[in-house]
Amino acid sequence: MTRKASPTIALFPEASFGAALNCVGIAQALRARGARPVFICHAGFSGVFADYGFQEYQLPTNEPLSDSDRQSYWQAFVRRHLPHFRLSPIDQLETYVAPTWQAIVDTAVNAEAPLRQLLARLKPDAVVLDNVIMFPAIAAAGCPWVRVVSCAETELPDAEVPPYLSGMAADDPQREAFEARYLSASAPAHDRFNRFRADSGLAPLPKGLFLETSPDLNLLLTPTIVRRERAEPLDPDRFVYLEGCVRSEGPFEVPVFPRNGGPLVYVSFGSLGAMDVGLIERMLAVFDRMQARFIVNAGGLRDAYRAVPDNVYLDAWFPQPSVVAKSDLFIHHGGNNSFCEALRFGVPSLIMPYCWDGHDNAQRAGETGVGDHIGRDAWTEGGLERAILGLLADDVMRARLRENAARMALTPGTNVAAQAILSLIGT
Amino acid sequence: MQAAARRPRTNHLDLAQRILDVARQRGFEPGARLPEQQIASLCNVSRTPVRAALSLLAGQGVVRWEADTGYHLAIDLAAQPAIAAELPSAEEDELAEAILRDRSARRLDQTVTVAGLMRRYDADRKTVLKALNKLTDENLLDRAPGQSWLFRRTPDDPEAQGESYEFRLLMEPAAILAPGFRLDGARAAALRQGMEVLSALPDANFDTREFQRLDMDFHGMIAEGCANRFVSDALADHLRLRRLPGIYAGVNVFRLRQSLREHLGILDYLESRQYEVAADLLRIHLRLSRNQRPQAASRGAPALFGMIRRPD
């Protein structure tokens, strides 16, 4: 089979900004190589990809939620889960992880019929799935499919890799206890998912797993500097490391601060983390007494803030890669995109994780000397200030990160991903 | 807020800008004479402030003085639409900008007082009052009881942005379709040139601030071209809100470029007097410009639009 002049690549990211914007980066590189990337998106993400110039196909939903329903959902979600985000990873298993897996299984079940219809109509040359769960329609699409592992590397289990979502070191003595509790907590959702797979013609997955590796191609974002040794190395023909996967955004102009001067620190906990206004307010009080400038992503709750310090600039959205490129320190939640962007631009990470693989990246940042981490609960103002000042003053770390960033810039992950996808469908 | 004495007076700056607008509207070419009496008559002022404003423009190299013949236009206004941005600013203008910037970053509450602003900006009462009056004139502030002022709601949150686009969808096409619409040809030509120059820049050098200036000028031109004064005034008042900091934040370069192309397409039809097509294209442009990005998203959760209340 020879490569089509303009193959259609259907990208299907989960309904989160990390996966969505990661896929935008890959799609930009595919478009630059003459392919026709299109997006399959969940309700609510229509327009996000069109704004980057990509065709979108929204999955229809049986019961579309009104804006008021969505607000009620989120109000309840935040009220319920904010306290859980202060818990340890193991104590989040029953409180946050298990109900989230149930909700994720719901999305897979609900998407199945419309996704099958859409893929039959689109007839893509390949499907790129950036999610944490399998959609049987993709396996049945009649074309190769690509899995993007856009969470931390822990998403692919291995004896030498710590358990997914644990925030542990590989040799943590509590490892077995965590694994047992994880399997128990996720079992109801997993059993339901396996029944759904069987009904859809797919083999069941081992306990705890919701997504298999692709037989065709798997892309991992994990940059070399934080990569782990595996007991069973991944087959390089099927597993390609991207060295991050950073989209291109427009330039960012650093705002003028009434109290101008000092290093620039960017703070973003993603749209979910931005809901923790109380935590960010406590942080602003610390920032106020420091000789530095802080750019803070306040998400949809910007109006909740008053008397913001003169060395702080709040806004609801930033072109993150362009902001990180101009920053001296990035305080984030350990989302894999944020972590990779910090590495791509040679900026130390101070990670304050609250859920999912943020815990794993926080642990890894400390282990590999590319940053530091602070628990979301029980941090002190002095501790936060010392952590910020320590990272800003660590010239050895900065030099090492700069060298690493220069290496990452030589082979942008977006280009490697696009090339690997096009090679897959050209053979 | 020092060095007030060295700054030009606001009324001279305003008049300088009006002189340039008149010269542009009348298609004055480089070298054209600018007789003080004629300018005074066109701008409805006496000759004394005209002399001061022309002197200000001479200092910027926009006009030149010749002993025998007086002031002449020194530049091609059609090719340089951004003169206003290069004029020096008055003290109260700078203060007004700082107030807007700080409100946008939520350093200032929705209600401000003269005394509070004097302290914060180390400015005298007169300058603060001038800045507040300027912002009030621009419909950005309302006078509240006592010595306080209240910031008006601006389209800087998703709900207000949605309402703003709904308003503009109603009014802007109507501005074109109302009988008697007149396009300012010189302004349109300058805008076209500016948009083509910006479009040619690579992504890495794309100037978002210049986009904002061109965008406001483009939509302002449509508002001012409307023959129905009530539509024109309502739109002009609303469009002024879009000059606030942060309004254009978060729009990526791809969409901004697309937006420039849409502006140019609308201009084509305005210039060829096909107003119904122009109004239709404008409607599409506004629909596409409305930001659809959700405010929050998470695995397994429906994306959130609009705002939620601060969690307890």
Query: What does the pLDDT profile of chain B (312 residues) look like in tens digits?
Result: 433 345 556 667 778 888 887 787 777 888 888 888 888 887 777 888 888 888 888 888 888 988 888 889 888 876 665 555 556 667 888 899 899 989 988 999 999 999 999 999 999 999 999 999 989 988 889 998 888 999 988 887 777 888 899 999 999 999 999 999 999 998 899 899 999 999 999 887 888 888 988 999 999 999 999 999 999 999 998 988 887 776 776 678 888 999 999 999 999 999 999 999 999 999 999 998 886 667 667 776 777 766 666 665
Q: Inter-chain contact A271–B256, Cβ cutoff 8 Å?
A: no
From the list A67, A274, A316, which residue is nearest B305 (CB)?
A67
ipTM: 0.78
Whether A420 and A272 share a structural domain: no
Q: Say if A296 falls within a structural domain.
A: yes
**Distance (Å) from the alpha carbon of A420 to chain B's nearest alpha carbon:** 25
Q: Inter-chain contact B305–A276, Cβ cutoff 8 Å?
A: no
Q: Inter-chain contact A73–B249, Cβ cutoff 8 Å?
A: no
Q: Say if A255 falls within a structural domain.
A: no
Q: Say if A354 falls within a structural domain.
A: yes
Q: Give residue B1's pLDDT.
A: 42
Question: Based on the structure, what is the number of domains in chain A?
Answer: 2
Whether A400 and A416 share a structural domain: no
Q: Give residue B5's pLDDT.
A: 42
Q: Say if A356 falls within a structural domain.
A: yes
Q: What is the model's pTM?
A: 0.85
Whether A416 and A369 share a structural domain: no
Locate the chain B residue with the closest alpha carbon to A76: B311
CA gap A375, A378 in Å, rounded: 7
Q: Give residue B67's pLDDT.
A: 84
Whether A276 and A310 share a structural domain: yes
Q: Show Cβ contacts of residue A71 under 8 Å, excluding neighbours closer than 6 positions.
A: B304, B306, B307, B308
Q: Inter-chain contact A318–B250, Cβ cutoff 8 Å?
A: yes
Whether A325 and A222 share a structural domain: no
Q: Write out chain A residues lying below 8 Å of B204, CB-based.
A: 251
Residue B306 near residue B163 (C-beta atoms within 8 A): no
Q: Say if A163 falls within a structural domain.
A: yes
Q: Give residue B307's pLDDT.
A: 63
The CA radius of gyration of chain B, in Å to the nearest whole number, is 21
Size of interface A-B (CB pairs under 8 A): 180
In terms of Cβ atoms closer than 10 Å to its own Cβ (0-12, 13-18, 19+), residue A131 is buried
Q: Give residue A96's pLDDT.
A: 93
Q: What is the SS3 assignment for A330?
A: strand
Residue B269 near residue B199 (C-beta atoms within 8 A): no
Backbone φ, ψ for residue A294 (5° rounding):
-125, 125
CA distances from A263 to A64, A78, A317, A400, B203 (A): 46, 33, 21, 18, 26
Q: Say if A2 falls within a structural domain.
A: no
User: Is A82 part of the contact surface with chain B (CB cutoff 8 Å)?
Assistant: yes
Q: Say if A347 falls within a structural domain.
A: yes
Residue A407 near residue A394 (C-beta atoms within 8 A): no
- DSSP secondary-structure letter at A216? S
CB half-sphere exposure, B300, CA atoms < 13 A: 17
User: Is A14 part of the contact surface with chain B (CB cutoff 8 Å)?
Assistant: yes
Residue A31 near residue A8 (C-beta atoms within 8 A): no
Q: Say if A389 falls within a structural domain.
A: yes
**Per the structure block, which two tokens stand in for B74?**
């020194």
**Distance (Å) from the alpha carbon of B198 to chain A's nearest alpha carbon:** 13
Whether A83 and A214 share a structural domain: yes
- Backbone dihedral region for residue A313 (phi beyond 0: left; psi -120 to 50: alpha; all else: beta): beta
In terms of Cβ atoms closer than 10 Å to its own Cβ (0-12, 13-18, 19+), residue A298 is buried
Q: Give residue B311's pLDDT.
A: 62
Q: Give residue A417's pLDDT.
A: 97
**Per the structure block, which two tokens stand in for B157?**
């949150």
Contacts 24+ apart (CB under 8 A), A68-76: A69/B302, A70/A44, A70/B302, A70/B303, A70/B304, A70/B305, A70/B306, A71/B304, A71/B306, A71/B307, A71/B308, A73/B301, A73/B302, A73/B304, A74/B296, A74/B301, A74/B304, A74/B308, A75/B308, A75/B309, A75/B311
- A 10 A CB-CB count for B234 gives 17
**Distance (Å) from the alpha carbon of B101 to chain A's nearest alpha carbon:** 9
**Per the structure block, which two tokens stand in for A315?**
């806004």
Helix axes B91-104, B125-137, angle to 10 degrees: 70
**Interface test mutation site (partner B, options A17, A70, A79, A254, max chain B beta carbons within 10 A):** A70
Q: Which of residues 114-173 of A touch B (CB under 8 A)?
A: 132
From the list B102, B294, B300, which residue is nearest A258 (CB)?
B102
- DSSP secondary-structure letter at B28? P
In terms of Cβ atoms closer than 10 Å to its own Cβ (0-12, 13-18, 19+), residue A382 is exposed
CA gap A330, A324 in Å, rounded: 7
DSSP code string of B126-181: HHHHHHHHHHHHTTSEEE-STTEEEEPP-S-SHHHHHHHHHHHHHHHHHHHHSTT-
Whether A61 and A129 share a structural domain: yes
Q: Write out chain B residues lying below 8 Å of A151, CB-based.
A: none
A423: amino acid identity, one letter: S
- DSSP secondary-structure letter at B73? E
Residue B263 near residue B203 (C-beta atoms within 8 A): no
User: Is A52 part of the contact surface with chain B (CB cutoff 8 Å)?
Assistant: yes
Backbone φ, ψ for residue A152 (5° rounding):
-60, 165
Q: What dihedral angle (degrees, nearest 10) is formed by the CA atoms of B69, B70, B75, B81?
A: -140
| Domains located in chain B, CATH noted | 6-86 (1.10.10.10), 91-151 (1.10.10.10), 158-289 (1.20.120.530)
Whether A346 and A382 share a structural domain: yes
Whether A288 and A230 share a structural domain: no
Q: Give residue A113's pLDDT.
A: 94
Q: Inter-chain contact B308–A249, Cβ cutoff 8 Å?
A: no
Whether A342 and A402 share a structural domain: yes
Whether A275 and A237 share a structural domain: no
Whether A160 and A231 share a structural domain: yes
B258: amino acid identity, one letter: Q
Q: Inter-chain contact B252–A313, Cβ cutoff 8 Å?
A: no
- DSSP secondary-structure letter at A125? S
Which one, of A356, A352, A298, A358, lies nearest residue A329 by Cα? A352
Question: Which structural domain range is residue A279 located in?
Answer: 264-410
pLDDT tens track of chain A, all 427 residues?
455 679 999 999 998 888 898 999 999 999 999 999 999 998 778 888 998 999 999 988 766 778 788 878 878 888 888 889 999 999 999 999 999 999 999 999 999 999 999 999 999 999 999 999 999 999 999 999 999 998 899 999 999 999 999 999 999 999 999 999 999 999 999 999 999 999 999 999 999 999 999 999 999 999 999 999 999 999 999 999 998 888 878 788 899 899 989 999 999 998 888 889 999 999 999 999 999 999 999 887 888 899 999 999 998 888 899 999 999 999 999 999 999 999 999 999 999 999 999 999 999 999 999 999 999 888 999 999 999 999 999 999 999 999 999 999 999 999 999 999 999 998 4
The CA radius of gyration of chain A, in Å to the nearest whole number, is 21
The sheet carrying A36-41 orders its strands as A55-58, A36-41, A8-13, A126-130, A145-149, A217-220, A239-241
User: Is B142 part of the contact surface with chain A (CB cutoff 8 Å)?
Assistant: no
- DSSP secondary-structure letter at B296? B
Query: Residue A151: enclosing H or E segment and its boundaries?
Result: none
Q: Write out chain B residues lying below 8 Å of A335, CB-based.
A: none
Q: Which residue is listed with tokens 């290093």? A: A263
**Distance (Å) from the alpha carbon of B1 to chain A's nearest alpha carbon:** 12
Locate the chain A residue with the closest alpha carbon to B110: A306
Provide the CATH number for the domain around residue A151.
3.40.50.2000
